Amino acid sequence: MTTPPRKPAAKTPPVKKTVAPKRTVKPKAPAKKPVKKHGITELKIIAAVVVLILASPFYYRYITNGFSSLWHWINDIGEDINYRHYKSFNVHVSEKYSIHGIDVSYAQGKIDWQKVKQMEENGLHVSFAFIKATEGENFVDSYFQRNWREAAKTGIICGAYHYFRPGKSGKLQAKLFLKTVKLEKNDLPLVVDVEQLDGVAPEQMRVTLNDFFATIRHKTYIKPIIYSGLSFYQDYLKGYYDEYPLWIAHYDKPETDVNRAANWQFWQHTSKATVNGIHHVVDFDTFKGDSVAFRKLLKP
């Protein structure tokens, strides 16, 4: 049997040698230095403290007070170093006194007591007000009841005064005063304003004044405050009524003059103060003692 020729075997293509690409060796990056964690923490703490300080109201108060004091110092160059000039009030006041007030009558017209209470400059504000109530035997100040009511609503401590007429009956004057003014808790004592003779002799003036005091003390059991100008007090009252609290008037003069002449508790040191809520200039007063002494004066 004849064997068929075989198919010729397929030629195997030559195997190409694959040349591996050369590897590029990258240079090693320098190793990073480790960051100290505690340094970042310290910075965060410092930043937080700074933010807290800047956000604090005490910081702004400190800055504000600093600028205010600097401005005040510049403003007062050439002034008496023992006094401050409060320009908005138009007054010079010794810084050792902290309790200040005004005294008013119909002459000031209608007063906005809320504005009076709210006015403030570098700590100075109105704490009390003496309000005219009566005069002589039959005159009642037309603004007294309104002032007496509205001033008290704001928290201002109130006191009422009577303008004394030596030529009239002391007893009748006292009765009119007591009928008009009804003292309440925390009011200041009643005040008698004695500043002229009205043509009578000094001796007679004091007799009439004694009658006035006797009637007042019989009803209230409290010594009234005496108000007077410094000269009138020295000429006619000093040595006779030294046991009574004294409210002295002496304008735009050194305090040493007042201290030498009288043992005062209140000092009316100017008649030209300007106060918000009052359309006319007004008398400005200072209390000599501290808040404890002031409270002791008030009706319990």
**Catalytically annotated residues:** 195
Report residue 235: phi and psi, to 5°: -80, -35
Alpha carbon distances (Å) from 84 to 124, 195, 257, 284, 286: 10, 29, 18, 14, 13
Q: Closest by alpha carbon to 89, among 230, 275, 240, 285?
A: 275
Q: Nearest CA to 280 among 104, 156, 144?
A: 104
Here the tokens at position 209 are 């004044």
